[in-house]
Structure 1
Amino acid sequence: MKGSFNRIESAESYNGAHMGQIKADFSLRPTGSPFASIKKEVDELDIEQLAFWVKTSDLKSLRIRTTDSTGQTFQQRITLQNTSNWQQVVVSQMGSNTFTYWNGANDGVWHKPANAITILFDRFDMKNAALPATILVDHMTAQMGDWQPELKIQQTALGNIFLDSEPNVFIVRTNRPSVSWATYDIYGAQITSGSESPVAGKAQITVPFSKLGYFTLEVTAERPGSEPLVRSTAYAVVSSALPPGNGESPFGVSTHLNWTASGWSKELSKLIRYMGASFVRDGMEWSSIEKQKGVYTFAPSPDDYMQKLAENDLKLLFVAAFNNPFYDNNATPYTDIGRRGLAEYAKAYIEQYKDQLIGFNVYNEFNGGFMMDRDDEAGSNGQAASVPRKDRVYSAPCSG
């Protein structure tokens, strides 16, 4: 089974300029129960109803999974209209004992708030499982209830890292009537303090600028007759004066900014610049670039990633790795054909983004535990087999 998710810019989107695209191919008759999905973890939201728009000619139904505060997951199947036009999908119940459910409380009762939403389909949702399927997703909205946590601090800036030129703002959600707060520097000295009165369970704390550095915000929520609740979060204030970029600074950062499915964000590139680095070391794996043998794909990703680096004057130290199912049985390359394939993928990437690179690495952590060793000729699965292959990979020919 092959699947992918892409954010696409298109005038055909239902609302705005972008839409999501889920693609899957089950034609290889996979064993087990594979599926294609997109998942969004939500920050304790009291979602009572969910609605979004889809467009597909290939699916007759969709599955919706909702996860509650206990970790219990509910799954429901929604039948789609037989049309290739945009249609709205409405999820009117987040959980019910009439749905399939598992994990967490495992009692068939929805426990507020929601922790995750997943949209998925498998081959049984397709009109023809022998063909690839595509569905477009756009304009998701939610109807919210009035549940509020006892006390929760929410970010307004990525990583709670603020510039000295912008307000240090935090959102506090609580079901208690009064909130007080204080900030402390890295040495524990109090810097500022204040109080807020939540409206509809929400209060905004704006901390005035005092100095650059690393701080702690401590929030206390009170209710008559109850013990105070205390929560804290760390934050930092950095200079808005930009250091040299485009590889001119000797400092760089090793990242996985392109691993958005694992929680990384390309928006971190802005913070990397402000911390004083001028390049990142990162890799876009071989299998994500050469999805069809001999054909190298850069749109929409990593084009979007490289554009974000350029917007923040960051260069890339490119890591060319690891394996590809078209070569050497998806193992770490050990034949001349496999090494040539790795070299050609690296060459294609370098030619695509040569103005943004400061150099490239051939492979990474070659003797790591993730190494795919299937070289029967070498005879062993240990480091003794990988070392001679390491020498051969580093001497792989690359034309041009």
Structure 2
Amino acid sequence: MGRRMTRVPRTGRLSLGFAALALLATALPGVAVAQPTTVALGQTSPGNIFATGATPSFEVSTPASSVSWTVHDYWGDETAVGTTPVTDGRALLQVPVDAVGYYELHVTAADGGGAAETSFAVLPEADRSATDDLRFGAQTHFAHGWDPEILVPLLTNIGVQTVRDAQQWQLIETAPGTYDFTVENGRFETFMEELGEASVEPLLNFGLYSPHHDGGATPYTDEGRQAFARFVQEVLAHYGDQIRSIGVYNEPNTPKFGDRGDGLADARPDYHAALAQVVSDAVQEVRPDVEVVAPELLAKTQDFAEGLPWLAEYLRAGGAEALDVVSVHPYRACCTPETLPADIADLRRVMDENGAADAPIWFSELGWPTNDRSEHTTERAQAQYLPRSYVLAFSEGVARYYWYNFMDHNSGPFGLLRRPGDPQGDYTPKPSYVAYAVMTAQLSGLPYDGADRVPGGVHSHRFSDGVTAVRAMWAPEAGTEVRLMTPRPLQVTDTMGVTRTITPYRGAVSLTLSGDPLYVRGNVKAVLHPRGAR
């Protein structure tokens, strides 16, 4: 465990080489430069996502006579290599991998050296609980045009139970008091229908403005607030019991969202508390069973403390009475997930002191991007931080967590999947996609049950229903050893879903931990450091 995956930008190196040759040819007239043979890869399964037992396969288009290929896994190990003949410019490349997980495929043409690469995933089998509390969520942007026919199955494949999305007020209210849910080629109704058929529950986030009210600004007058509330009622009536929770606004403490246009809202907590109160009254009037989730506060690590006074004033101004759930977006691209517990404790203190002591906490957005700007924003870090952040959030009483984002979007490369048009291929997975699937498969149906006290920065968090027990375990320093005292064999599953059974020796099982969590299933009496270790 703890091996690093290294991505080599092979195609970039090839392009640079041919560019250099082209310059040489320009300098030396009469010198012919061979152009690289092109290689294109096509998908046989959306996103190159395959089930256990399926043989990953790819369509290859190239004028070359054959292609050679290699496959590397999440850990950077070469797992398969081969050559595939090409007939009439096409071939079906089948990759024999014998384990679940995340993989990278690199294909090179025999004639001329053109190359292409993509990623793929083989998902573990999972028997997820049908009665589990809704804990595992993801942000989607179906309201912005994402394709639900392709993406909803990719959500359910990894155990996403609920998504946060929207019905856009500025588009659906076509004239004052007139609503048309078939606008934009019916995309709002289509994604709701697809979610309903897949039993994925939507958290609809409401905002942000209407050109017909308050001049298109963030609602700030009584008329604007009432219009906003009427739209919420229309959406609830249109979709009925499919909606069980709604979010009121988005990051209202920021000028980008909380102060749109030339109105007087100015991202002020009192104005947004007033909006939440009007919406809450409207919801109570028609659907008192629907939870009001607010204020969708942006609270990044570097200014988390600065967001809490805003929240305190919001709660005191009436927000506490308007909401059922306190929702926050505690982004921290600068830091590891281990910074979460202290911030959650501060958040809970503010809630306790300002009238929201009984409200649950939801993370309605949180994620790490893969822009490679620091050690915290690589694909490897994202795959490590995702399960660790979920476990730590649950350990501090967070009831629901929506990973931002399910797929890369205009807001940046936060996705578990790459967006259409990505050089790696449409909807192709990042390692975090598999890490999410493994996490939900291991923890489904098991409530959080506490943490083992282990020195040396080791994290060991128990999930149990009283019969089955699973521990999520990791350590910030790779190579950290622990002993698990147990009378029986344990099942140990790594973050890519590979499971092995380990039989205890003299009543103990030894494990080596790293930043990639392990899931340990079985009867563990105690978690200790090896003898002599501190």
- TM normalised by structure 1 equals 0.55
Residue 278 of structure 1 deviates from its aligned partner by 0.7
Are 2:181 and 1:316 equivalent residues in the alignment? no
Partner of 1:250: 135
**Alpha-carbon distance in 2 for matches of 1:189, 1:157:** 24
Residue 165 of structure 1 deviates from its aligned partner by 4.7
**Alpha-carbon distance in 1 for matches of 2:53, 2:200:** 22
Partner of 2:277: 395
Are 2:84 and 1:196 equivalent residues in the alignment? yes
Deviations 1:233-276 (A, max 9, x none): 1111113546346984411111112322xx55552111111212
Say if 1:303 and 1:382 are closer, same or farther in 2 by CA, change over 3 A: closer
Tell me, what secondary structure is at the counterpart of 1:276?
A: coil
- Conserved? CA contact 1:245–1:278, under 8 Å: no
Residue 199 of structure 1 deviates from its aligned partner by 2.5
AA aligned to 1:292 is: A
Partner of 2:124: 239
Equivalent in 158, 167, 189 of residue 284 of structure 1: 167
Equivalent in 183, 188, 211 of residue 71 of structure 2: 183
Residue 297 of structure 1 deviates from its aligned partner by 2.2
1:1-400 aligned at under 5 Å gives the runs 150-223=38-111, 226=112, 228-241=113-126, 243-244=128-129, 248-260=133-145, 265-299=148-182, 300-366=186-252, 367-370=254-257, 371-375=259-263, 378=264, 382-383=266-267, 386-396=268-278, 397-398=281-282, 399-400=285-286
AA aligned to 1:290 is: E
AA aligned to 2:275 is: V
Tell me, what secondary structure is at the counterpart of 2:143?
A: coil
Gaps of 5+ in 2: 1-35, 287-534
**Alpha-carbon distance in 1 for matches of 2:199, 2:247:** 21
Say if 1:329 and 1:270 are closer, same or farther in 2 by CA, change over 3 A: same
Tell me, what secondary structure is at the counterpart of 2:105?
A: strand
**Alpha-carbon distance in 1 for matches of 2:87, 2:137:** 44
AA aligned to 1:173 is: S
AA aligned to 1:298 is: F
AA aligned to 1:235 is: F
Tell me, what secondary structure is at the counterpart of 1:372?
A: coil
**Alpha-carbon distance in 1 for matches of 2:169, 2:273:** 19
AA aligned to 2:241 is: D
Question: Alignment identity in percent?
Answer: 29
- Conserved? CA contact 2:148–2:191, under 8 Å: no
Deviations 1:7-53 (A, max 9, x none): xxxxxxxxxxxxxxxxxxxxxxxxxxxxxxxxxxxxxxxxxxxxxxx
Say if 1:330 and 1:155 are closer, same or farther in 2 by CA, change over 3 A: same
**Aligned-residue CA RMSD in angstroms?**
2.4
**Alpha-carbon distance in 1 for matches of 2:225, 2:127:** 41
**Structure that is richer in helix per residue:** 2
- Conserved? CA contact 2:69–2:82, under 8 Å: yes
Residue 196 of structure 1 deviates from its aligned partner by 1.8
AA aligned to 2:94 is: T
Q: How many residues align?
A: 242
Partner of 1:45: none
Gaps of 5+ in 1: 1-147
Q: Which is further off, 182-191 or 276-285? A: 182-191
**Structure that is richer in strand per residue:** 1
- Conserved? CA contact 1:254–1:281, under 8 Å: yes
**Alpha-carbon distance in 1 for matches of 2:50, 2:72:** 16
**Alpha-carbon distance in 1 for matches of 2:132, 2:230:** 25
Say if 1:308 and 1:195 are closer, same or farther in 2 by CA, change over 3 A: same
Tell me, what secondary structure is at the counterpart of 2:196?
A: helix
- TM normalised by structure 2 equals 0.42
Say if 1:304 and 1:219 are closer, same or farther in 2 by CA, change over 3 A: same
**Alpha-carbon distance in 1 for matches of 2:149, 2:217:** 29
- Conserved? CA contact 2:255–2:266, under 8 Å: no
Q: Which is further off, 232-241 or 322-331? A: 232-241
